[in-house]
Amino acid sequence: MPETAPNGIEDHFISVPDGLKLHVRILGAGNAGLPVVCLPGLTRNGRDFEAIARLLSSAPHRFKVISITSRGRGLSDRDPEPSRYTIPVEAMDVVAVLDQLAIDKAHFIGTSRGGLILHVLAMTHLDRIATAVLNDIGPVLEAEGLRQIQAYLGRRRKPQTFAEAALILKEAHGDEFPALSDEDWQGLAAAIYRETGGEIVTDYDPEIGIQFRAADLSQPVADLWPQFTLLADIPVMVVRGEHSRLLSPETVDAMGQRHPRLLAVVAPGQGHAPLLDLGPLPEQIADFLNKSI
């Protein structure tokens, strides 16, 4: 049975085929229509979508919003075999969650790695995707952006408090995210870190960061144009952070040339990956989803 909080949020812990349990949070569980499924980034979790989920699940939109936290992140089980922290495995986890929730088709919002998972689902389960919102991700990943993530994962300092965690994040990313207020940085810290054993730690299995830092970026990264092309008949929205180094304007232009219904928007004053509850983004996403019904 799901755990239901006083504010109506449902927390489920759903087993996937290899036995791990994933944390799945639902807002607006009683809302009708196709749900919105949110997939977070590399080291992130479902808390990234709390604000946008509240908006989308409330009047006048009233979507059921489901955030799936991938294995090894947040409250989801960590994998005893770190080699299974791969995009194809995580894509099949999403399918397993959808099956257990009896969801045949959904709108999807994928941030960074979550958007890469959507590219895999386009190959394996295209019929499950009603629409796709790609948050600062596309078929081409810029090496500069990947190296930036590697460097950041390798130099994180350990904060003593959540207030210090917010300051660390602002020092590391403030130049790319001038749109964020001090309150936004505090919210970001609360999404990225958790307290355990009296310590403030990043909320993911360290093996995930170790794997990513070990990736050889001296060789070209394979593009995903064949997978993206499969989405040509499905409404797709791409959000690019104004200062993103991972998703280039040139890639967004090329996506538009291949996708006749692509909606491309820029998240002003943000880098990789944009917070979806800031500026015009919440209403732009809600409008896109409502028009795609």
| Token pair in block for residue 173 | 């990313």
For 179-183, what is the mean pLDDT?
Answer: 97
In this structure, what are the phi and psi dihedrals at residue 113, rounded to the nearest 5 degrees?
Answer: -55, -35
**Structure confidence by residue, pLDDT tens digits, 85-141:** 999 999 999 999 999 999 999 999 999 999 999 999 999 999 999 999 999 999 999
Could you tell me how many residues make up the chain? 293
**Would you say residue 20 has pLDDT above 60?**
yes
For 152-171, what is the mean pLDDT?
Answer: 89
pLDDT at residue 139, as a whole number: 98
For 208-225, what is the mean pLDDT?
Answer: 91
pLDDT at residue 3, as a whole number: 55
**Would you say residue 163 has pLDDT above 90?**
yes
Q: What ranges make up the beta strands (E) of the chain?
A: 3-4, 10-15, 21-27, 36-39, 65-68, 106-111, 129-135, 193-196, 199-202, 236-241, 263-267
pLDDT at residue 31, as a whole number: 95
pLDDT at residue 6, as a whole number: 45
Evaluate whether 80 touches 86 at the Cβ level (below 8 Å): no
Percent of the chain with pLDDT over 90: 88
Q: What is the pTM of this model?
A: 0.95
**Would you say residue 24 has pLDDT above 50?**
yes
Q: Which tops the pLDDT comparison, 291 or 243?
A: 243
Structural domains in the chain plus CATH codes: 3-143+222-291 (3.40.50.1820)
Angle at the Cα of 46 from the Cα atoms of 43 and 48, rounded to 5 degrees: 80
The verdict on whether omega for the bond into residue 60 sits within 30 degrees of 0, i.e. cis, is yes
**Structure confidence by residue, pLDDT tens digits, 50-84:** 999 999 999 999 999 999 999 999 999 999 999 99
Q: Is 114 exposed, middle or buried (0-12, 13-18, 19+ CB in 10 A)?
A: buried
Identify the band that residue 2 occupies on the pLDDT scale cut at 50, 70 and 90: low
CB atoms within 10 A of CB 242: 16
For 3-9, what is the mean pLDDT?
Answer: 59
